[in-house]
Structure 1
Amino acid sequence: MMSKRGRLFGLGVGPGDPELMTVKAVRLLGQSPVVAYLAAKGKRGNALTIVEAYLKPEQQTLPLIYPVTTEKLPDHLDYETLVSDFYDQSAAEVATHLDAGRDVAVICEGDPFFYGSFMYIHDRLAQRYETQVVPGVCSVLGAASVLGAPLVYRNQSLGILSGVLPEDELKRRLVDMDAAAIMKLGTNFAKVRRVVTELGLADRALYVERATMGNQKIVPLLEVDPKSAPYFSIVLVPGKKWQS
């Protein structure tokens, strides 16, 4: 008789503060014999750091280590191919445990389906295994809370933009938005600040690094050193205040 397959859980563990994990995420995390996490080479990864206080000694951790993150690649290497192969291999490693009947919780900082790496594993495995995704507090909401910045009032709309966009495209999209969150900064910060300033939004724009994490840092936008802006930083342009 074939053994029962394990279940796949994609757990959003929030933006950094372990207390921002949902009750459901903590429960399913504690029930999973295998906890998989994604991390860069030589690092533990933010998701693991968030959940480590909830882990039990008997749980097995499964590191899924990115082959590349933001560094420049040699000309003979293709980023998209490397990353696609990495997710194929990661999905295969997770599937080995699922086939053996072990539930696997793949933890993901923020929300699994909001720029979350888990979504690529989900795309590869969700049709083959029982899968449950638990939403998490995303970094945009974590940033708004620590900055004390209501994002949208009444009928305003919020746009989420990637700082990786070309400068002209970023400006074109941002100019028509009531409010915006610009993510994936890092080396893109100088470009993003330039666009925000040229559109006359610098007075409204707010900046935070690693919102809700232990090393959180809030700096006035115009005082940020472009060379020091980390990938996990956000520029928020809240909607104009509504006088109720």
Structure 2
Amino acid sequence: MSGAVTSGKVYGVGLGPGAADLMSVRADRLVRGARHVAYFRKAGRSGHARRIVEGMLREDVIEIALEYPVTTEIALTDPAYNVALSRFYAGCTRSLRDVLEKGEDVVVLCEGDPFFYGSFMHLHSRLKDHAPVEVVPGITGMAGAWHASGVPITWGDDVLTVAMATLPEAELARRIADTDALVVMKIGRNLGKLRRAVIAAGREHEAWLVEHAAMPAERVTPLAQAEAVAPYFSILLIHGQGRRP
């Protein structure tokens, strides 16, 4: 680390896929002991990360809610989306540095794993040259999903592909056709496009939709029987069928 200006430390803490008892011992200890706890949420919502730790925070905790300016209101391909998010993460960084420069530590709650398609990565890149940052790994949402399906995701030499449903339909179809095992995230309103891509790849009857993995509303459904719109916490799986003894 170069140019450090603070003695406070940032902890990006992975909370796992949704159940508090799937957190690591280290994550549990940090969450329960934190004076300053930050988390991302949509304006007007409590935030999934915050819900996971309900009842775990100390009585004198100072909460820092980082509220996204946009979620689905602007298309990902619109340049205004990146502008809005860049300004948002810059503001979040300033808020955390205000705390860090007083010598206080901050725990940032992260759904799943902090370094796997998480918002914390954008804070990490902005803070790592100004303060000590420690990342605590967490069980990913996709791991929660394939365990919910009750079937191993890979065997032997299977190649696993992780794709976003926000990709163009033709690109999705190509990647689905080219892999042994598949995880698709960020589904939501993209379910129709994803379904067409799976059919184009000839793999509709291998595909499963897992909703709310490791949460009370957990549901596993063949893609062919899934509804038209998927909840935010949805992951599509195609299990590998590779080499076995």
| TM-score normalised by structure 2 residue count | 0.93
1:236 is aligned to: 237
For residues 157 and 222 of structure 2, what CA distance do their matches in structure 1 show? 28
Alpha-carbon displacement from aligned partner over 1:36-88 (angstroms, at most 9, x marks no partner): 00000110111111112211111111100001111247xx9811100100000
| Contiguous gaps of at least 5 residues in structure 1 | none
1:55 aligns with 2:53: no
Whole-angstrom distance in 1 between the partners of 2:142 and 2:79 = 33
Question: In structure 2, how many angstroms separate the alpha carbons of the residues matched to 1:42 and 1:70?
Answer: 15
Amino acid paired to 1:79 = Y
CA contact (8 A) 2:142 2:235 kept: yes
Q: How does 1:107-146 map to 2 (within 5 A)?
A: 107-146=109-148
Which string of whole-angstrom CA distances, capped at 9 and with x for unpartnered residues, describes residues 131-165 of structure 1?
Answer: 10001000110001111120110111111000000
SS of the aligned residue for 2:134 comes to strand
TM alignment of 1:76-91, pairs within 5 A: 78-91=80-93
Q: Quote the residue 1:212 is aligned against.
A: 214
Residue 4 of structure 1: how far off its partner (Å): 6.0
Identity of aligned residues (%): 40
Q: CA deviation at 1:34?
A: 0.3
2:197 aligned residue (195, 207, 221): 195
1:174 shift after superposition: 1.8
Partner of 1:13: 15
Could you tell me how far 1:171 is from its partner in structure 2? 1.2
Q: How far did 1:241 drift? A: 5.4
Q: Does 1:160 align with 2:162?
A: yes
Between the two proteins, the alignment pairs up a number of residues equal to 239
What's the RMSD between the two structures over aligned residues?
A: 1.7
2:94 matched to which residue of 1?
Answer: 92
